[in-house]
């Protein structure tokens, strides 16, 4: 849940964490959407850094624009109302971080003075980076709940890979009946599963964590050549198989999968040759 829409939960979490400095996780049970749910609040350092970076960059930009407005006021005769409108347009929703006042000067002139509210920025730092997780898995530990939440990125990566238009894509499907669509999706997901197992094996043996698309592109560059030998007698030509020249990455992958010599001995699976 978003901290902005559940400020009371964040307030309770901050109060608890400030009183228990050794704790990094706040946990409670609340009735949410007419059902008792476990609430876990923690601070994400990555999110906090991103939020504060955005905030300070925005404040710096506002400060630059206000200084430009100051110079423009000195060169022209502008009313206090006009200056007020321009300042409000620059500050927008960041008004808590900017303190300003418009002073009257002789000859109907005005002067804009402003400063950055450091107390508000420090308060924003204290309130940044919070994540609110809710679950009905009341028996799970807080660490398990957080770890499961982080695992959603892996699921999102899976959907991204299945939407890749070049590899493992489930669409377009070119089928219209339910039965054929189910078979199509089953084969696509099965192919994705086998490719993921391949990736896991390569990562275990080479310590390299390839993206699936990258892995498929590299393996797709491995080509097996067929050399036909003229025996000068009747019958079939004698065939020899040889891998074409490979890059270092391709060689490393073939070695990791123990496939560098597989072409020298034909594989047969249920009496089906891989060369059929």
Inform me whether the pLDDT recorded for 269 exceeds 70.
no
Chain segment 166-204, per-residue pLDDT in tens: 888 888 888 899 999 999 999 999 999 999 999 999 999
Chain segment 196-213, per-residue pLDDT in tens: 999 999 999 988 888 888
Does 197 lie in the same domain as 78? no
Count of the separate structural domains present in the chain: 4
In terms of residue numbers, what domain contains 226? 221-273
Does 24 lie in the same domain as 84? no
Confidence at residue 78, expressed as pLDDT on a 0 to 100 scale = 78
Does 64 lie in the same domain as 18? no
Does 204 lie in the same domain as 96? no
Please state the pTM of the whole predicted model.
0.58
Does 103 lie in the same domain as 76? yes
- For residue 82, give the 3-state DSSP assignment: helix
Chain segment 214-229, per-residue pLDDT in tens: 899 999 999 988 888 8
Inform me whether the pLDDT recorded for 77 exceeds 80.
no
Burial class of residue 26 (count of CB atoms within 10 Å of its CB; 0-12, 13-18, 19+): buried
Cα distance between residue 6 and residue 10, in whole Å: 7
Cis check for the bond before 150: say yes or no (omega within 30 of 0). Answer: no
């Amino acid at each position: 849940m978003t901290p902005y829409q559940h400020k009371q939960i964040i307030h309770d979490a901050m109060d608890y964490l400030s009183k228990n400095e050794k704790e990094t996780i706040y946990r409670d049970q609340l009735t949410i959407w007419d059902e008792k749910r476990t609430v876990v609040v923690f601070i994400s350092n990555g999110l906090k850094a991103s939020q504060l970076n955005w905030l300070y960059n925005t404040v710096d930009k506002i400060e630059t624009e206000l200084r430009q407005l100051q110079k423009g006021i000195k060169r022209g005769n502008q009313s206090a109302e006009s200056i007020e409108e321009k300042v409000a347009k620059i500050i927008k929703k960041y008004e808590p971080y900017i303190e300003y006042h418009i002073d009257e000067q002789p000859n109907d002139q005005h002067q804009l003075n402003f400063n950055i509210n450091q107390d508000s920025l420090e308060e924003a730092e204290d309130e940044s980076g919070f994540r609110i997780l809710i679950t009905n898995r009341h028996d799970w530990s807080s660490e398990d709940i957080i770890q499961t939440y982080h695992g959603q990125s892996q699921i999102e990566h899976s959907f991204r890979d299945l939407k890749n238009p070049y590899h493992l894509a489930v669409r377009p499907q070119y089928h219209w009946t339910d039965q054929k669509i189910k078979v199509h999706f089953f084969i696509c997901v099965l192919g994705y599963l086998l490719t993921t197992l391949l990736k896991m094996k390569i990562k275990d043996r080479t310590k390299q964590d390839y993206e699936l698309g990258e892995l498929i592109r590299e393996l797709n560059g491995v080509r097996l050549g067929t050399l036909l030998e003229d025996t000068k007698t009747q019958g079939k030509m004698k065939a020899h198989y040889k891998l074409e020249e490979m890059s270092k990455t391709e060689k490393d992958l073939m070695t990791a999968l123990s496939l560098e010599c597989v072409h020298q001995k034909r594989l047969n699976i249920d009496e089906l040759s891989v060369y059929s």
